[in-house]
A and B are shown apart, each in its own frame.
Chain A
Amino acid sequence: MRVELTVNGEPQVADDVWEGESLLYVLRERLGLPGAKNACEQGECGSCTVYLDGTVVCACLVAAGQAEGAEVVTVEGLADGDALDPVQRAFLDAGAVQCGFCTPGLVVAVHDLLARTPDPAEADVREALAGNLCRCTGYEHILAAVRLAAERGGEGRS
């Protein structure tokens, strides 16, 4: 089947989509956007976190057909050209990246958190990121990145 959707502001068409296929597969394998990662395929790890019509979801649990007509924003859509989103910049500056596999999902989750709660309490941060696993267990630096992004405020955040 054909699925038409908007991804990072651009209209996209995916053809020959299997009816049981996930939005994640469409993004990665059909639209060439490998930012959202494929890991657990059961909504446990958060590495495929994307925005679907403005809310963060696990793209592995969205059937491709459910995204018909939807607005999707992936981690590739956060930077403005070469100018990183402040959340991405904070992850770099805080050294919140080890192997990097969980990073795209975390960046999108943190982007969503700070858009809704610009100055989150520690408990808010932990709750917001409860569904994003880092197998390197680099959580302390990730939390430091969130605090850094929050301290720098929403300047330039898309």
Chain B
Amino acid sequence: MRFLRPHTWAEALGAKAEFPDALPLMGGTDVMVDVNFGRARPNALLDLTAIPELRTWAPDGDALRVGAGVTYARLVSELADRLPALAAASRTVGSPQIRNRGTAGGNLGSASPAGDAHPPLLAGGAEVELESVRGARRVAVEEFFAGPKRSVLEPDELIAGFRARPATGPQYFAKVGTRNAMVIAVCSFALALRPGEGVGTGIGSAGPTPLRAYAAEEFLAGELADRWEKRDALPGPVIGEFAELVAGAARPIDDVRGTADYRAHVLRVLARRTLTWAWADHCEGGAGCA
């Protein structure tokens, strides 16, 4: 095994081109588990933690550009105002020790259907920045995942970071697991309201990849179109139909963490809760909810 430790992004891209089977390593919270247990024996580990530019984030036009090396701890402490659902999801990742090392970029690299960063990135309409010596490209998060733990990342490409617009309205993330810490989601859901514009959703751990609930987004956007200004109470049937459409968008399976039926139930509950919370916030932000 080789241990490659580039100190610049250009060196990292060169190393990945030269050793396409090198396994990128950031916080190690997924990769090192597989190495420790003998499940991963790559020809090379490509450590990306010595590259300063990956650890930065900055506004770029009307979006935020967040480097792949920004830890969950920093997403919580530095970006909770601009990316509230992602920060909320980050708070639920592992433990303080894990959040000090793990990154949303690494979460994307692992591409687990249960990755906590994915539902908020989906709901927020984020794009993943991929780069190789051949050039850079941006992929919408919903196009990034190709299957369980698989993505469209080419062998010579690395994840540079992601781009997302700062929240223009309430955002929520909710997750069900066996305890509050150190838990892989049985099911998770993120909701982003964009007042006057539309709605974003993200489903975690209830399909072969993280998913958007397109029909639920379309339905709710239609229902909210003339309510953004009025800020009146959402009728129960609207919330119920949204919850049904979210559950209907999932493709859950039975596994050790839960059954498909339970996951569909959980999604209905989480969809209803997050919409109720988010709409209450929206109403409070105006003249007050009826």
Interface residues of A (CB under 8 A from B): 1, 18-20, 22, 41-44, 46, 49, 55-58, 60-63, 65-66, 68, 109, 112, 127-128, 130-132
Contact = CB atoms under 8 A, between A and B. Distances in A.
Given A65-B45, A66-B28, A42 B3 contact: no
Contacts of B37: 41-42
Shortest 7 CB-CB distances between A and B: which pairs?
Answer: A131-B95, A130-B181, A19-B3, A19-B1, A41-B36, A65-B3, A61-B32
B169 interface: no
B180 A130 contact: yes
Interface of B: 1-3, 5, 25, 27-29, 32-33, 35-37, 41, 44-45, 47, 49, 73, 94-98, 100-101, 180-182
B96 A58 contact: no
A43 B45 contact: no
A62 B101 contact: yes
Contacts of B98: 43, 58, 61, 131
Given A56-B96, A131-B96, A131-B98, A43 B1 contact: no
Contacts, number: 90
Given A65-B3, A130-B95, 18 more contacts: A18-B1, A19-B44, A20-B45, A22-B32, A43-B29, A46-B97, A57-B100, A57-B101, A62-B28, A63-B35, A65-B5, A65-B47, A66-B47, A109-B97, A130-B181, A130-B182, A131-B94, A131-B98
Given A22-B36, A63-B45, A43 B96 contact: no
B181 A60 contact: no
6 contacts: A20-B35, A43-B29, A60-B32, A61-B28, A66-B25, A109-B97
